[in-house]
Amino acid sequence: MPKQLTIRQKAVVLLIGITVGVSIICIHSNLAMGGIVAIDQTLGLLEGMNTRILECRRQEKNFQLRGFTAHGKDTKNSLEKWEAHCKIILELLDRAGRTVPAVYREPLARATGEIHSYITDFRHLTTLYGTPDYQVRKTELEPVMVAHARSCQTITGDIAAREKNRKQTLITRSRRLNLGVGIVVISSLVLLGSVLIKKLVQPVRVLSGALEDIASKDGNLTVRLPVKNRDEIGKLAHWFNVFVGNIHAIVGEVSRETDALVSASANLDAISGTMTRSAESTANRSGTVAAAGAQMSATLSAIVTASEEATANLTRVAVATEEMQAAMDNIAAKTKKASSISERAVSTAGSSSSRIRELTQSATDISHVAETITEISNQTNLLALNATIEASRAGAAGKGFAVVANEIKALSKQTAEATLGIHDHLSGMQKTTRITAEGIEDIAQIIHDIDTIISDIAAAVDQQSAATREVVGRLARTSGRIEGVNGNLAEGTIAAQEIAGDISEIDGASRDILQTAVSVGRDADALADIGTRLKKRIATFSI
Of 447 and 332, more confident = 332
Contacts 24+ apart (CB under 8 A), 444-447: 444/345, 444/346, 444/349, 444/350, 444/353, 447/342, 447/345, 447/346, 447/349
Predicted confidence (pLDDT) at residue 25 exceeds the cutoff of 70: no
Give mean pLDDT, residues 201-219: 70
Q: Amino acid letter at 459?
A: A
pLDDT at 420 exceeding the cut of 90: no
520 pLDDT tier (thresholds 50, 70, 90): low
What does each C-alpha distance from 377 to 323, 391, 418, 425, 426 come to in angstroms? 78, 21, 10, 19, 19
Rounded distance between C-alpha atoms, residue 11 and residue 397, angstroms: 140
Confidence of residue 192 (pLDDT cuts 50, 70, 90): confident
In angstroms, rounded to a whole number, what is the distance separating the alpha carbons of residues 77 and 397?
Answer: 119
Decide: 56 and 119 in contact? Cβ < 8 Å. no
Residue 443, pLDDT score: 62
* Nearest C-alpha neighbor of 513 from the set 274, 309, 319: 274
pLDDT for residue 381: 77
pLDDT of 296 > 60? The answer is: no
Q: What pLDDT band is residue 282 in, cutting at 50, 70 and 90? A: low
Cβ burial of 419 (10 Å; 0-12, 13-18, 19+) is buried
Per-residue confidence (pLDDT) for residue 454, from 0 to 100: 64
Which of 20, 27, 8 is CA-nearest to residue 188? 20
Closest alpha carbon to 497 in 511, 284, 489, 482: 489
Q: What is the mean pLDDT of residues 332-348?
A: 74
CA dist 207 and 224 (Å) reads: 9
Better pLDDT: 126 or 478:
126
With b meaning 16 or more CB within 10 Å and e meaning fewer, what string describes 174-212? beebbeebeeebeeeeeebeeebeebeeebeebeeebee
Strand partners, 220: 542
Between 34-38, 177-181, 398-402, the lowest mean confidence (pLDDT) is in 398-402
* pLDDT-wise least confident of 262-266, 358-362, 518-522: 262-266
Task: Note the pLDDT tens digit of each residue in 119-153.
Answer: 999 999 888 888 888 889 989 999 999 999 999 99
- Homologous superfamily (CATH) for 290-513: Methyl-accepting chemotaxis protein (1.10.287.950)
- Asked if 352 and 474 touch (Cβ cutoff 8 Å), the reply is no
What is the per-residue pLDDT for 181?
79
Is it the case that residue 61 has pLDDT exceeding 70?
yes
Confidence class for position 75, pLDDT limits 50, 70, 90: very low
Report the SS3 class of residue 427: helix
* CA angle, residues 112, 113, 119, in degrees to nearest 5: 90
Q: Residues of the chain with pLDDT > 70: what percent?
A: 66
Distances (CA, A) of 373 to 213, 365, 376, 416, 426: 141, 12, 5, 8, 14
Higher confidence at residue 269 or residue 37?
Answer: 37
Nearest to 221 by CA among 254, 258, 262: 254
Length of the chain: 543
Contact 241, 207 (CB under 8 A): no
Res 112: pLDDT: 92
Q: How confident is the model at residue 488 (pLDDT cuts 50, 70, 90)?
A: low
Strand partners, 77: 70
Per-residue pLDDT, averaged over 337-364, amounts to 74
pLDDT digits (tens, 9 = 90+) for 371-418: 787 787 788 778 777 877 877 777 776 677 677 777 777 877 887 787
Which range among 67-71, 101-105, 239-243 has the greatest average pLDDT?
101-105
CA distance 259 to 256: 5
CATH architecture of 7-199: Up-down Bundle (1.20)
Residue 70, beta-bridge partner list? 77
Domain residue extents for the chain = 7-199, 290-513
CA dist., res. 57 & res. 48, Å (int): 14
CA distance 45 to 91: 10
Q: Within 13 Å, how many C-alpha atoms sit on residue 13's CB side?
A: 14
Residue 154 confidence (pLDDT) above 90? yes
What mean pLDDT, rounded, does the chain reach?
75
**pLDDT tens profile 94-121:** 888 888 888 888 999 999 999 999 999 9
pLDDT at 224: 76
> How far is CA 127 from each of CA 55, 68, 69, 120, 143, rounded to the nearest angstrom?
21, 11, 15, 11, 18
Do 15 and 188 form a contact (C-beta atoms < 8 A)? no
Q: What percent of the chain has pLDDT over 90?
A: 9
Contact 152, 48 (CB under 8 A): no
532-542 pLDDT, tens digit per residue, is: 777 776 666 66
